[in-house]
Amino acid sequence: MTNYSDEFLKRVLQRTKTIAMVGVSMNPVRPSYYVARYLSLKGYTVIPVNPGHAGKKLFGQTVQGALSDISQPVDMVDIFRRSEAVPPIVDEALACFQHLRTIWMQIGISHPEAADTARERGVDVIMNHCPKIEYQRLFGELRMGGFATGVISSKL
């Protein structure tokens, strides 16, 4: 299922405080970088996870090499990895975070079997969506018109 009610998405975003972002990039032009930046500016604690950048700092947080390196509770694991990489990430998240509430797979990422595994453990799953886009849409931050929606005014 990749159609989620606005109420469900809003509830997930409102209850979430700490997000482990798997596959975050240090490159500011990459989607994972600006999604992490945006969410951190909105008050979420975003813990970056990328073994290639472990120990570096990003938005005030130390980049972790793996979910198992995180010592604090996590509400949501946001996955910026290819769909085939999802099952071991979900398994590690379920093993590491006793009170995990959400697995979120970014746009273009889905894995129904891994989603079923998480749901069986009582964890909500969102696939093929972006929390930044949903936050902007649900909390009235999307600009309408012009370049923000891909519509170019004839007055330009």
Give the residues across from 48 on adjacent strands.
21
Position 140 scores a pLDDT of 83
Give the residues across from 102 on adjacent strands.
76, 124
CATH level 3 topology of 6-149: Rossmann fold (3.40.50)
**6 has pLDDT over 60:** yes
Domain boundaries, the chain: 6-149
* pLDDT, mean over the chain: 91
**141 has pLDDT over 80:** no
**1 has pLDDT over 80:** no
**149 has pLDDT over 80:** no
pTM: 0.88
